[in-house]
Structure 1
């Protein structure tokens, strides 16, 4: 039995203990200030430990943002650049391969690849980003392209999303990241990213990816102009697709960083709000195996505490992250494996290195191999 005692939580506590699904109204209620955060965290931790025991996962990964030039002007984005901006860049094959070599030398099992939609970059260039890396470093898992990018490629080629995904798989695509989701509800989405792929295209991309055997992640950008109702609506839409396909591996709640964006007047979410959103996400997404506390956005300390508020994954070494640092993230640009394992152990959890698909990674010096898929509840 749980130690929670607040009357406002009693009906939800009974549902959680019985393993019953929470409703939209339940989720909105959990954002009320009257709901004690420690008790909410305790409920989320119950679900977290049912699914993942005392394990906390991490991986050794590298980010690659091949260009920051982008046709879209999302108000929340500090990463994008115009074609003639001084900060604009567009990587060539040599630079991309150098990043791949650096990743392999660092022991990375994964490269996370997302970027801008360059006005002059043809589809073949985006495909080549994957093919040159896959040919040179076949052991490196390429997690690449959000639905916003896949939608752009479909527009460029005048092909269906399925064709684009199949072609990218042929080039070396291993899985999809969860970005581009932001907030699904149209009354928010139209204000922060009205021109890019809408929620229907986002879901079509992930549904199709899952049908093709790809696993993917999912996200939510919170702490800007949205309200609790929009967040819970977002989570339920993700839960519904997961009921249908089972293809989501991990949910990552992304705390909005306002610096250098069109929403710079907004104060970024507080630590308690980050923990509340993590806990609520764990309770609402009863069918998603993992919850990631992305330390780049949350900060190392909050990410560590989140391991008691529903999170079972803390991401990885995250070499070369640009998108959130451009928006004011003050976290380090990389953490060592030793630092990650230490902060997991300090939180009272057992660190487990995983690959992108949640297979346990076993290392012997500079050599590594993946073991069996990590069992979840």
Structure 2
């Protein structure tokens, strides 16, 4: 316990599964001692997942274009229309990358890209249906509300119609992309051309009512206040109260290279860990909490397993957007499993819906395939780029 009666009461109520208010969450975030905060969050994890299992997934984030009209200040990935460095992958190239991912055990692809001025609903219908036709068992956990709004505008359709059509074409679930910060002040500061946080959530709520589940994310470290971080979570929790459609919450940290914000603000590892713990206590209605070793590093990722986290996310066979802004953390599958095991947890490979595919109950069950590694962005590395074949793996 913290020694402060008010804090202790809030921590105990949250640890027991009770609902805490945004004001109480902010107080915990700013004032609760780290160890009692982490203990309370981990108590929630233990009650939800008494088997001690921590999950991971193998997937590939395939970007179909970097052409974008939205010009977010934190983004190092996009290029404006007609820019010399703009590109769009052919459908054959996207399918080739899907095949590589399947060969390495991936069960999911995240197809994401910029807001290309010519890409309407029809483009996504062809993209998703082609992937499903070639790889019927590959889950398409892709795009985000911003892409849905953009494609609907290009095609002149409603949000609901766009969602119905891309679901019919093969979209399985929606990624939490584009959330960044949902409250108006920080969102306008970093992405003035993007839809409002309320509009982002409206698309998610519509998708949930159509039977399309999703994840929710948060990018921290671009100058938002502590209160705005909590407000972001409140906005998500309110929608979850109505729909139950968010599978997990995934906070990550802003990466400072090659973008207009120039790293003027960043979140510390301690801020991140405190946020993770508060999120587990605040989101009594969201089943899973994933930490981002890709942006914070494997050491912070492992510590987060003691702060309420039950999922370490992906061995991401390809990732371009965050890597372009400076994320340089890599991991082999064998290393990620070891991170989980040496934290005193049981590793398990999951699917998109968090069903366990393989539980590594003992070290003898652990995967040994050294080929399965995350890799740097193909455009952030020297010699990389659209249409060039960058090896997914290095064999030694």
Provide the TM-score with structure 2 as the length reference: 0.87
Distance in structure 2 (CA, Å) of the matches to 1:87 and 1:298: 29
Match of 1:344 in 2: 340
Distance in structure 2 (CA, Å) of the matches to 1:315 and 1:290: 11
Distance in structure 1 (CA, Å) of the matches to 2:335 and 2:4: 37
Matched, 1:194 2:192: yes
Quote how far apart the aligned CAs of 1:208 are. 1.3
Residues 220 and 266 of structure 2 are in contact (CA less than 8 Å); yes or no, is this contact kept in structure 1? no
Match of 2:383 in 1: none
Residues 24 and 233 of structure 1 are in contact (CA less than 8 Å); yes or no, is this contact kept in structure 2? yes
Match of 1:156 in 2: 154
Distance in structure 2 (CA, Å) of the matches to 1:293 and 1:265: 21
2:172 alignment partner, SS class: strand
Of stretches 265-274 and 170-179 in structure 1, the one that deviates more from structure 2 is 265-274
Matched, 1:128 2:91: no
> 1:98-147: per-residue Cα shift (whole Å, max 9, x none)?
01110111111100121101133344223322121111001100011100
Query: Where does the alignment leave 5 or more consecutive residues of structure 1 unmatched?
Result: 366-377
Match of 1:66 among 48, 64, 67: 64
> 1:57-79: per-residue Cα shift (whole Å, max 9, x none)?
11111111111110011111111
Distance in structure 1 (CA, Å) of the matches to 2:347 and 2:4: 33
Residues 15 and 41 of structure 2 are in contact (CA less than 8 Å); yes or no, is this contact kept in structure 1? no
Distance in structure 2 (CA, Å) of the matches to 1:355 and 1:47: 23
Of stretches 46-55 and 272-281 in structure 1, the one that deviates more from structure 2 is 46-55
Match of 1:302 in 2: 300
Match of 2:264 in 1: 266
Match of 1:176 among 159, 165, 174: 174
Quote how far apart the aligned CAs of 1:268 are. 2.5
Match of 1:46 in 2: 43
Quote how far apart the aligned CAs of 1:195 are. 1.5
Question: What is the number of residues matched between the two proteins?
Answer: 360
Residues 8 and 35 of structure 1 are in contact (CA less than 8 Å); yes or no, is this contact kept in structure 2? no
Where do residues 153-302 of structure 1 align in structure 2 (5 Å cutoff)? 153-302=151-300
Of stretches 342-351 and 125-134 in structure 1, the one that deviates more from structure 2 is 125-134
Distance in structure 1 (CA, Å) of the matches to 2:193 and 2:230: 23
Distance in structure 2 (CA, Å) of the matches to 1:48 and 1:233: 23
Residues 316 and 340 of structure 1 are in contact (CA less than 8 Å); yes or no, is this contact kept in structure 2? no
- Alpha-carbon distance change, 42 to 182 in structure 1, aligned in 2, over 3 angstroms: same
> 1:323-359: per-residue Cα shift (whole Å, max 9, x none)?
1111111212xx3322221110011111111100111
Distance in structure 1 (CA, Å) of the matches to 2:326 and 2:187: 22
2:109 alignment partner, SS class: strand
Match of 1:373 in 2: none
Match of 1:11 in 2: 9
1:152 alignment partner, SS class: helix
Match of 1:96 in 2: 94
Provide the TM-score with structure 1 as the length reference: 0.91
Quote how far apart the aligned CAs of 1:12 are. 1.4
Match of 2:356 among 351, 357, 360: 360
1:156 alignment partner, SS class: helix
> 1:183-202: per-residue Cα shift (whole Å, max 9, x none)?
11112211111212212221
Quote how far apart the aligned CAs of 1:171 are. 1.1
Residues 255 and 263 of structure 2 are in contact (CA less than 8 Å); yes or no, is this contact kept in structure 1? no
> 1:248-307: per-residue Cα shift (whole Å, max 9, x none)?
101001211121121114242221111011111111111100000122112111111101
Distance in structure 1 (CA, Å) of the matches to 2:248 and 2:89: 29
> 1:193-238: per-residue Cα shift (whole Å, max 9, x none)?
1212212221121111111112110011111111011111111111
Quote how far apart the aligned CAs of 1:150 are. 0.3
Query: Where does the alignment leave 5 or more consecutive residues of structure 2 unmatched?
Result: 360-364, 368-396
**CA RMSD of superposed structures (Å):** 1.8
Distance in structure 1 (CA, Å) of the matches to 2:198 and 2:21: 22
2:262 alignment partner, SS class: coil
